[in-house]
Structures are given as structure tokens and as C-alpha cells.
Amino acid sequence: MARPAAKADSPPFLSPYRHGFVRVAACVPQIALADPAANAERTLGMVAKGHDQGVAVMVFPELGLSGYSIDDLHQQDALLDAVEAAIGRLAEASARLSPLFVVGAPLRGEGRLFNTAVVIQGGEVLGVVPKTWLPNYREYYERRWFASGLGVEDGEIAVAGRTAPFGVDLLFRAVGPTAFTLHAEICEDIWTPTPPSTRGALAGAEILLNLSASNIVIGKADARRLLCASQSMRCIAAYLYSAAGVGESTTDTAWDGQASIFELGEVLAESGRFPTDDDWALSDIDVGRIRQERRRTGSFGDVVAYEDAVGDFRIVEYDWAPPAGPLALARKVDRFPFVPDDPALLAEQCYEAYNIQVQGLAQRLKATGLKKLVIGVSGGLDSTQALIVACRTMDRLGLPRENVLAWTLPGFATSDRTYDNAWKLMKALGVTGAELDIRPAARQMLADLDHPFGRGEPVYDVTFENVQAGLRTDYLFRLANQRGALVVGTGDLSELALGWCTYGVGDHMSHYNPNASVAKTLIQHLIRFVAGTGDLGPAAGPVLADILATEISPELVPAGADGQGQSTESFVGPYALQDFNLYHLTRYGAAPSKIAYLAHCAWSDSARGDWPADLPAPERRAYDLAEIKKWLRLFITRFFANQFKRSAVPNGPKISSGGALSPRSDWRMPSDARADAWLAELDANTPDSTVSG
């Protein structure tokens, strides 16, 4: 059944098809009961709309050409002849339309009547899949009319003057510049313990289709979502679901026309329910992500080998080429992938994050037999989060917060603002606060090194910076030795990814780091969350708000003549973008050009319409493609160059599905790996502007 691949140029940079996406639609047309000709015209109208919008795959409801609720009329030859004529009309018209579409129809074959999914594209009936599991309980009576497709394999069926492959052993594969594989099942199939789509997925189908005529009762819509979402997660696939709606008989049942699209357990799009006109759910499926997840999930491959499902299927290949021009991505891209947009979900995940951090630190403290914690407090984001966790750890263990020994360690560039905030926070939280000025020791060390600064020259190089960072950590460890305490780390996941930490005896090291897998953008939201709850008392709220509003800086180099101090993001890039890059590189293994494309979809000026109106100023910033590419290139370079730091990180709990960079957890790579292939892919496949793309 193989056919030659379609010949077409690669889609432009601003097309989702260029980056492994496939546009799909789950459709709910109005139904005219027992009028296949009218239903075919409705179907063609929606397929034409899909053609205009660059859709590759469209699925329609179960028995949509005849109507599901016509009961004994399914057995009437007049109706069945009209259904075949309608299929002929659809196949003929499909030669002028690009989408593959799947319609539901009662068809005669092998001396029986089957409830089928008819797959049409390019002027042909590519194949026909019969329903496997027929419901015959409560309001359902399908065995009265239809035969089960169980065991129907390697067959053919005559339909509309054509002969097409027939059976439950069919997969449909698009060949050409954008390749993907489909499997179709029908309604009740998904409600069974062994849905046919499971074996279809094991055999290689990334997109699973369900033609349904599920009637509606109270609460059933949520049950459908649960079934389809869990199937898409379990099968590491996309799942399209289309249920019959307006026009079906309401003699004894009702119909809501639910259409939904799921990917790896997530709802991407849903139609309105109880529509008064034709409706659909449309989205772009990330087939590249699905393939990545299957490759990295070893248990999925183990089941493939165990079930040996691949050889059980016939593959029908068909030519398909994506639209030539640019298309706007038809799905939402989270600008902050470590932070959920939904306020209720954000609150739930902030609660979980704090408790994971607290549980980890509490367990480590109990394991050591120690009762005290030592922490350096700078007045910045990371040490603030770690200090809050330290206080809650004491609360959980029934120990006084005075057992948190917090030290502010001012250096040559410590600002009045961060110094004051450090003290205000320590007092507000009720910890034992103290101060240790590192400048005398730093001057002595720089003089011992014969550094120009030790001779009074204003030379602020990396040695000048790291002497301060190293002394702070050295003092904290010695203070912990002296007081029988455990040193709490403060560095975060974003800094570790970028190598923005001083190796060894510096902020790289601690006895335990609860922030180790918390991205900078998530830390900002965690602090904002706890400030909003008021749990830390009235004095903490204002200081937390000011810490959140303070520019991120290591404060190691004194301000220049213009009064401007160090800005971390001017060196390593905006954390909003770099966290985005980190997530998509390590969590999904995405190619750099795809990361740049997704960042453009999320962060370009054209995406502003989706941004909440109450965003803080830094989160309202837009980035053009040139900036995105520049900072992504820097991220890749620094990420590879600093693996040696990640190979020797302290213990700390994994917080989110976005991953961790500990070699004992999510991330393992050699310290001497080269970034050349990633940088070459970025440069070769990402233009410098959207105009050239």
C-alpha cells in the first residue's frame, strides 16, 4: 500500500508544520436524520473550511452520514444505498481538498452490517475501520443492527464503486515533508478495558481518533474528558474525540456535541457544548513532542516489544503536504512553563512546591541529628525563598525559628536596599539574625594574591568577584561547624543551568539545597504566592514585595559612575526566556530552532493579546526573533560549558515535572560535551528575523 512521498518544499519558519506540529480538528456538524446526502454536504462544508485553515486531519461523529439515532432504519437498503452514494460524493470532492477526514457510516460487508469509520483523502477511500466493541446495555442496542469488527483483519470492502482496505488492523500514515500516523476507533471502544487505540499507539500511531455518538446525561462530559485524557497520557499520544450533536433524535436521549483534543493528558481544545450550528475543536498537535516522550519513556518501548503489535497492522500510506505559507500556531504556548497560568492550579502547585522543599530539608535535618540551620541572606530572591523554607521546616519539626541562624554578609557592592531588606526579612520571620562583614577578609585575600585591588586599584575581574562569593560560603560552613548546624543552599535551577554560580567553595555548594530544582521564574511566583497569603505575618508582606521588585544582581562589583550596579540578566539573558529555553531543551529535547519558534509564539509582540492585563512590568516585555535567537545561543553555550558544576551539586529535592539537573536525578551528560551541533542547528534553521523567515 506504500505510495511515493509527496514532493514539497519545507514549510517556512513561521509555520507549525516546520517544527513537528500537525493541525487537527474534531468536528460536530448538524445532522439531518436519515439524509446522507444532506449530511455529506455539511461534512464537505467543514472540510473546505479545514482546507482553508491548513488542517491536516479532521474527525466527524459516529454514524454521522446516516445519524446514530435512526434505530431500525439502519437496516433499510434505501438508506444504505444513500450512504454509499454520499461516500462517493465525499471521495470525489476530497480530490480538491487537502485534509484527511474520517466520517461515520453504516456499511455492508461480508454479509453483515458494520458501524464504521470511513477514511477519505485525495479522491480516495483510504480504508474502512469497523467498530470493535458494541454496547448493548441501558439505552444502547447496537447488536440489534451491527456486527462487531472483532477479528476482522486483512479484508477489503466494496463501497461507492471502490474497493478499500477493511478491518480493525489499519493505520493511516501521511508521507512527505510532514509525516504522522493515525488510528481510528469508535465510541464504545474507548470505554472498554482494552481500547483498540492502545494497540494502534503501540504500533506507531501518534494521533488517535474517536468517532462517537455518546448521548449526554448529567456528569457524562467529565467522564469523557477523563477517559480521553487518560488514554492520551497512557498511550503517549494525541486523542481526538467527536460526539454527535444537533439533529440526532431526542425521542428518548439527548446529545451535546462534545468535541475535544487531548495531548499527553492535557486538553488542548474543546468545542462548545449543545451547539446550535456546526462547530469544531481545532489545535496543533506536537507530534515531535509525542515521539520524544515515547523514546525517553523506556516502559512504553518495553510494552511495544512485549505486545508485538506492530506486525498486526496494515499501514495505508497517503501523500500529504502542508500549506506552503506561514500559519499562526493554533495552540497556547506557556511563556512560563514552570509556572501554571490558572490561578487555582498555581496556588495548588505553590503549596506542593513549598511542602516538597520543606519535607526534603526536614528529612535531611532529622537524618543528621542536627537541630539548627545556617543560611546566608542577601535580600535577593533565592535566599528569601530558602529562608522561608528553613522557617517552615522548623515549624514542621516543632523547633523554634531561632534555630535558623541567618547571616547577612555584606561585600563591596552590597546595596542599602538589599542589606535593609535582608535585615527586615530576618526580623519579620523571627530567626536569629547576625552580620559578618566579609570586606576585611576579602581585602586581605586579594592582597595575598597580589591582586590589583589589594594595591588600591579598582580592578573588578572574576577573581575579585569570586573571592567574595567564596568567602561568604566559607564563613557559612565554618559557622555551621562552630554552631553544630547544617548549611542551607540558596542557588536555583536557572543559575545552575547557566553556570551562574561560583564553583566549589562558593554559592555552588551547601550541605543541602532546597532550591536546587526550582527555576527562577517559579521562585518569583512562590514568593508572590506566600506574600499574598499573609501566612508569614504582616511585617513580611511589604519586604517580600520590595524583594520581588528589586533587580536581580549578584552585587559583587561596585556601581559605576552612572550609579548602575550589576544586572544579572544583562549577562546571562532574561530569566523569563532562559527558563523557557531550559524547559524545552531538557524536558522535551527540542531542537534549538523549535525552541526559538515556540519562544517567538509566546514572547513576540504579536502574542501580547493573550497576556493577562495585571502582569508585572518584567513579564510584559516582548522579544523579537533576533533577541530570542541571541539569548538562546548564549543559553546553549553556557549550558554546555558549565556541566562540570552540575556534576557536583549538593543534594536537593526534585520539585516539578520540568525536571532537575542533578546527575542523581534527571540529567546526565559529560562535562566535556560540545555544543557545536546545537548551535549549528540553531543557525541553519532559524532566521534572524520573521521577515526573512
Rounded CA-CA distance 464/556 in Å is 8
432 is in an annotated binding site: no
The answer to whether 645 is annotated as binding is yes
Residues noted as catalytic: 62, 131, 187
Do 445 and 468 touch, CB atoms closer than 8 A?
A: no
Contact 246, 255 (CB under 8 A): yes
**In angstroms, how far apart are the furthest CA atoms of the chain?**
102
Residue by residue, DSSP assigns 87-156 as HHHHHHHHTT---EEEEEEEEEETTEEEEEEEEEETTEEEEEEE-S----STT--GGGT-B--TT--SEE
Residue 692 annotated as binding site = no
Q: Any known ligand binding at 214?
A: yes
Q: Which residue blocks in 278-432 are alpha helix, DSSP H?
A: 287-296, 298-307, 343-368, 381-397, 416-429
Q: Is 501 annotated as a binding residue?
A: yes
379 labelled binding-site residue: yes
586 is in an annotated binding site: no
Number of alpha helices (DSSP H) and beta strands (DSSP E) in the chain: 20, 19
What are the Cα distances from residue 281, in Å, to 31, 204, 259, 267?
17, 24, 6, 11
3-state secondary structure of 392: helix
Neighbours of 526 (CB within 10 A): 26
Task: State yes or no: 366 annotated in a binding site.
Answer: no
Grid coordinates of 85 = 452514494
- Distance, CA of 319 to CA of 608 (rounded, Å): 37
With contact defined as beta carbons under 8 Å apart, do 417 and 424 qualify?
no
For 411, the grid coordinates are: 561585600
Between helix 462-483 and helix 439-448 the angle, nearest 10°, is 120
Q: Is 423 annotated as a binding residue?
A: no
Residue 523, C-alpha cell as written in the block: 521562585
Q: What count of other Cβ atoms lies within 10 Å of the Cβ of residue 444?
A: 13
C-alpha span between 512 and 365 (Å, rounded): 9
Strands annotated E in 404-532: 404-408, 432-435, 485-487
Burial call 527-544: b when 16+ CB within 10 Å, e when fewer: bbbbbeeeebeeebbebb
Is 466 annotated as contributing to ligand binding?
yes
The whole-angstrom separation of Cα 425 and Cα 536 is 10
Cα–Cα–Cα angle for 441, 476, 356, rounded to 5 degrees: 150
The DSSP secondary-structure symbol of 613 reads T
| Chain centroid offset of residue 402 CA | 41
> How many angstroms separate the CA atoms of 540 and 427, rounded?
9
Q: What does residue 410 show for φ and ψ, rounded to 5 degrees? A: -65, 145
Report whether 272 belongs to an annotated binding site. Answer: no
Check whether 502 is labelled as a binding-site residue: yes
- The CA distance from 224 to 38, in Å, is 28
Consult the annotation and say whether 495 binds a ligand.
yes
Question: In this structure, what DSSP letter does residue 157 have?
Answer: E
First to last CA, the chain: 36
Instruction: Map grid coordinates 504500533 to a residue.
Output: 203
Ligand-binding site membership of 380 (annotated): yes
Q: Judging by beta carbons within 10 Å of its beta carbon (0-12, 13-18, 19+), is residue 95 exposed, middle or buried?
A: exposed
Q: How far is C-alpha 538 from the chain's CA centre?
A: 37
Binding residues for deamido-NAD(+): 466, 495, 500-503, 645
Binding residues for L-glutamine: 137, 214, 220
Binding residues: 137, 214, 220, 376-383, 466, 490, 495, 500-503, 645
Binding residues for ATP: 376-383, 490
